[in-house]
Amino acid sequence: MNQAVAVEPELVAVPPANSPLLEIRDLRIEFGGQNESLVAVSRLSFDVAAGESYGLVGESGCGKSTTAMAIMGHLGSNGAVAHGSIRFQGRELVGASTKVLRSIRGRGIAMVYQDPMSALNPVKTIGAQLAEVPLLHLGVSRDEAYDMAAAMLKDVRLPDPGEMLKRYPHQLSGGQQQRVVIAMALLGRPSLLLLDEPTTGLDVTVEAAVIDLIAELRRRYATSLLFISHNLGLIAECCDRVGIMYSGELVEEAAPEALFRRPRHPYTQGLIDCIPDIGAGKHARMLAAIPGHIPLPSERPQGCVFAPRCAGFKAGACDQPGLPLESTDEAGHLVRCVRWKEVVRTQTRVPPEPHGDAAPASAIELAEVSKVYRVRHRKLLKANEGVSFDAGKAEIVALVGESGCGKSTLARIVTGLDRASSGEVRLAEQNIAQLSAHERPRSLLQSIQMIFQNPESTLNPSHSAAFSIRRSLKNFGICKGRTAINQRMRELLEMVRLSPALADRKPEQLSGGQKQRIAIARAFAANPSLIIADEPVSALDVSVQAAVVTLLLDIQRKRHTTMLFISHDLALVRHVADKIVVMYLGKVMEKGTVDEIFGGVTHPYTEALLSAVRSIDPDKRPRQRIRLEGEMPSPIEVPRGCRFASRCPRKVGPICDREPPPVRRLSETHEIHCHIEAEALGSRALVLLDAGSSAA
Partner 1 sequence: MSALTGSPLKVSAAATRTVGRRKRKLLFRSRTAAIGFFLVSFWVLAALFAPVLPLASPTQQDALALADPTPSAKHVLGTDLLGRDVLSRLIYGARTVLTVAPLSVAVAMLVGITIGMLAGYYGGWIDLLISRISDILLAFPVVVLYVILIANIGPSILNIVIATTIASAPGIGRITRSLVLGLKQQEYIAAAKLRGENALYIMVVELLPNCRGMLIVDACLRIGYTIITIGILGFLGLGLPPPNPDWGGMVKESTTVLNVWPLMSLFPAFAIVSLVLGFNLLADGLRELRKP
- The stretch among 134-142, 147-155, 279-287, 449-457 that binds partner 1 (CB under 8 A) is 449-457
Residue 459 in contact with partner 1, rule: CB under 8 A: yes
Residues that contact partner 1, how many (by CB under 8 A): 56
End-to-end, the C-alpha distance of the chain in Å comes to 66
Q: What angle do CA 613, 615, 620 make, to 5 degrees?
A: 100
Closest separation in Å from C-beta 42 to partner 1 = 13
Q: What is the pattern of x (binds partner 1, CB under 8 A) and - over residues 87-116?
A: ---------------------------x--
CB of 68 to partner 1, least distance (A): 9
- With binding defined as CB under 8 A, does residue 180 bind partner 1? no
Strands, E assignment, 255-395? 326-327, 334-335, 362-375, 379-392
Closest distance to partner 1 from the beta carbon of 526 (Å): 7
The one among 4, 31, 240, 419 contacting partner 1 by CB under 8 A: 31
DSSP 633: P
- 545: nearest Cα among 315, 270, 275: 275
Query: Within 10 Å of residue 251's Cβ, how many Cβ atoms?
Result: 26
Q: How far is the CB of 437 from partner 1 (least distance, A)?
A: 5
Question: What residues have CB less than 8 Å from 534, skipping those under 6 apart?
Answer: 407, 408, 411, 450, 451, 452, 453, 566
Measured from the CB atom, the residue of 316 and 461 that comes closer to partner 1 is 461
64 near partner 1, judged by CB under 8 A: yes
* Residue 318 CB, nearest approach to partner 1 (Å): 23
Give dist(CA 604, CA 662) in Å, integer: 14
d(CA 539, CA 136): 38
DSSP 203-238: -HHHHHHHHHHHHHHHHHHT-EEEEEES-HHHHHHH
- Verify binding: residue 290, partner 1, rule CB under 8 A: no
296 makes contact with partner 1 (CB under 8 A): yes
Give min distance, CB of 677 to partner 1, in A.
43
Candidates 10-18, 435-443, 570-578, 669-677: pick the segment binding partner 1 (CB under 8 A): 435-443
Judged by CB under 8 A, does residue 2 bind partner 1? Answer: no
DSSP secondary structure string, 649-660?
TT--SHHHHHSP
562 lines the binding site for partner 1 (CB under 8 A): no
Q: What residue type is assigned to position 318 of the chain?
A: C
Question: With binding defined as CB under 8 A, does residue 78 bind partner 1?
Answer: no
Question: How many whole angstroms separate alpha carbon 202 and alpha carbon 252?
Answer: 28
Site for partner 1 in 465-524 (CB under 8 A): 468, 471-472, 475-476, 505-506, 508-512, 519, 522
- CA-based radius of gyration for the chain: 27
Stretch that binds partner 1, among 56-64, 90-98, 422-430, 582-590 (CB under 8 A): 56-64
- 690, HSE (Cβ side, Cα atoms, 13 Å): 12
CB of 466 to partner 1, least distance (A): 13
Contact between 60 and partner 1 (CB under 8 A)? yes
Count Cβ atoms below 10 Å from residue 357 Cβ, excluding itself.
Answer: 6
592, β-bridge pairs: 580
Taking each helix axis from N to C end, the angle separating 142-155 and 174-187, rounded to the nearest 10 degrees, works out to: 130
- x-marked contacts with partner 1 along 362-401 as a string, rule CB under 8 A: ----------------------------------------
3-class secondary structure, 38: strand
**Could you give the CA distance from residue 285 to residue 575 in angstroms, rounded to a whole number?**
8
Does 82 participate in binding partner 1 (rule CB under 8 A)? no
Task: Give the interface with partner 1 as residue ranges (CB under 8 A).
Answer: 31, 33, 36, 38, 40, 60-66, 69, 76, 114, 197, 294, 296-298, 415-417, 437-438, 442, 445-446, 448-450, 452-454, 457-463, 468, 471-472, 475-476, 505-506, 508-512, 519, 522, 526
